[in-house]
């Protein structure tokens, strides 16, 4: 039997088609898709809510972004914010706007990625909205979660002399994007030329299919380390660290030689004639966790693989310093992603 088109299904038919196989598993989900509102019960925990919107032409380019990966990423970037509060993501609500160029198969691919992310991160998909668009694809995801009372970690609670830590490595997603944009430019000039991306699989995956650091939150809990402040790296290390510093009324000192940079990132930076420190400091969408800890937790944090101590907070407000490899102190400036940059290019 031939599948109907999106137009033939209509709004409610499309919603039913894309979500009829969804089942809720979290104890906090009382009722999911199927009514005017979903119902939750977080009992004696603090509730967390975050929302993010992805716009075609601004946040992603469908020339090189598979729809399944896009659906996955749209969920991950939201639940990463829940982890950045030391919380547990539990539900998501997804709203999409589709132009007439999208087929039912395309919508199904997008939702495959959404559902896969929900499975991987143990999150219930509980509702949303669908509508038409005149300009392309827009995806809005709201993530809900909870955290034990008194254990939510904010950005504005760092203190003097605390250690600045970051998970994973930096700059990979930014360089993955530069590779994709370069290959797109070549393809647009000559569609017969196949993209050359096999050399940098890690960078491409970091851009198209990032992961939220659930594992880091679990390990911090196992070691009984409660960060004093925390943020996820969506806009770039320099920008996000300055969010912590300014909101905590502190300065900070960062050491360039302590920045964790993967080998592929270094190789690609050389290919683009960039100092690897530039994408590490200013590249967005790494979705690693940047946090501060008390000095008493120094030994415990060293027992967790994949976490680097890259600097410390200081009492001098508005003094944000990068100590270069040669020992010279350079003012640290926010040069990461600007969400209101309307150049029409993805990050």
SS3 letters across 219-237: HHHHCCCCCCEEEECCCCH
Q: Answer for the pair 260, 169: CB distance below 8 angstroms, yes or no.
A: yes
Same domain, 97 and 144: yes
Same domain, 132 and 251: no
Helix (H, G, I), strand (E, B) or coil at 35: coil
Same domain, 321 and 191: yes
- Residue 28 pLDDT grade (very low, low, confident, very high; cuts 50, 70, 90): confident
pTM: 0.89
Residue among 186, 200, 78 nearest 140 (CA): 78
- Residue 188 pLDDT grade (very low, low, confident, very high; cuts 50, 70, 90): confident
Angle between helices 263-271 and 201-208 (to 10 degrees): 100
CATH of the domain at 142: 3.30.1330.10
Ranked by mean pLDDT, which of 24-38, 125-139, 163-177 comes out on top? Answer: 163-177
**Eight-class DSSP state of 66:** -
Same domain, 32 and 91: yes
pLDDT at 41: 74
Residue among 217, 230, 214, 84 nearest 162 (CA): 230
Average pLDDT (86-100) is: 94
CATH of the domain at 319: 3.90.650.10
pLDDT at 193: 80
Tokens of 91: 């539900």
Determine how β-strand 88-98 pairs with β-strand 124-132.
parallel
Candidate from 3-7, 188-192, 198-202 with smallest mean pLDDT: 3-7
In a domain, 278, yes or no: yes
Distance between CA atoms of 38 and 30, rounded to whole angstroms? 8
In a domain, 345, yes or no: no
In a domain, 241, yes or no: yes
Q: Answer for the pair 346, 59: CB distance below 8 angstroms, yes or no.
A: yes
Same domain, 136 and 168: no
Full residue range of the structural domain in which residue 319 is found: 163-331
Same domain, 20 and 68: yes
Q: Compute the 3-state secondary structure of the chain and give helix, strand, coil in percent, each to the nearest 5.
A: 35, 25, 40
Compute φ and ψ for 266, nearest 5 degrees. -60, -45
Distance between CA atoms of 6 and 339, rounded to whole angstroms? 31
Same domain, 140 and 191: no
Q: Answer for the pair 229, 158: CB distance below 8 angstroms, yes or no.
A: yes
Q: Answer for the pair 152, 97: CB distance below 8 angstroms, yes or no.
A: no
How many CB atoms within 10 Å of residue 166?
27
Domain total of the chain: 2
Q: Answer for the pair 45, 39: CB distance below 8 angstroms, yes or no.
A: no
């Amino acid at each position: 039997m031939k599948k109907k088109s999106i137009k033939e299904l209509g709004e409610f038919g499309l919603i039913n088609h894309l979500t009829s196989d969804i089942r809720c598993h979290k104890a906090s989900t009382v009722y999911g898709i199927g009514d005017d509102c979903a119902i939750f019960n977080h009992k004696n925990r603090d509730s967390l809510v975050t929302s993010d919107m992805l716009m075609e032409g601004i946040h992603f380019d469908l020339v090189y972004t598979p729809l399944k990966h896009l659906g996955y990423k749209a969920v991950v970037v939201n639940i990463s914010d829940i982890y950045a509060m030391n919380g547990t993501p539990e539900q998501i609500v997804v709203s999409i706007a589709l132009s007439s160029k999208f087929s039912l198969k395309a919508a199904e691919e997008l939702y495959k990625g959404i559902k896969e992310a929900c499975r991987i991160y143990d999150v219930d998909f509980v509702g949303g909205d669908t509508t038409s668009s005149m300009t392309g694809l827009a995806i809005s995801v709201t993530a809900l979660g909870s955290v034990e009372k008194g254990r939510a970690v904010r950005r504005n609670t760092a203190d003097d002399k605390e250690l600045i830590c970051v998970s994973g490595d930096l700059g990979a997603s930014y360089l993955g994007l530069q590779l994709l944009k370069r290959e797109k430019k070549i393809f647009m000039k000559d569609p017969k030329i196949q993209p050359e991306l096999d050399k940098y699989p890690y960078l491409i995956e970091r851009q198209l299919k990032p992961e939220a650091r659930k594992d880091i939150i679990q390990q911090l809990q196992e070691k009984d380390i409660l960060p004093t402040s925390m943020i996820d790296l969506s806009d770039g290390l320099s920008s996000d660290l300055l969010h912590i510093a300014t909101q905590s009324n502190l300065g900070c000192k960062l050491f360039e030689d302590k920045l964790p940079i993967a080998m592929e990132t270094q190789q690609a930076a050389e290919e683009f004639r960039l100092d690897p420190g530039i994408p590490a400091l200013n590249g967005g969408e790494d979705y690693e966790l940047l946090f501060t800890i008390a000095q008493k937790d120094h030994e415990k944090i060293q027992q967790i693989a994949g976490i680097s101590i890259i600097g410390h907070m200081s009492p001098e407000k508005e003094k944000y310093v990068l100590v270069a490899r040669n020992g010279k102190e350079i003012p640290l400036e926010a040069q990461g992603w600007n969400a209101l940059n309307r150049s029409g290019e993805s990050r």
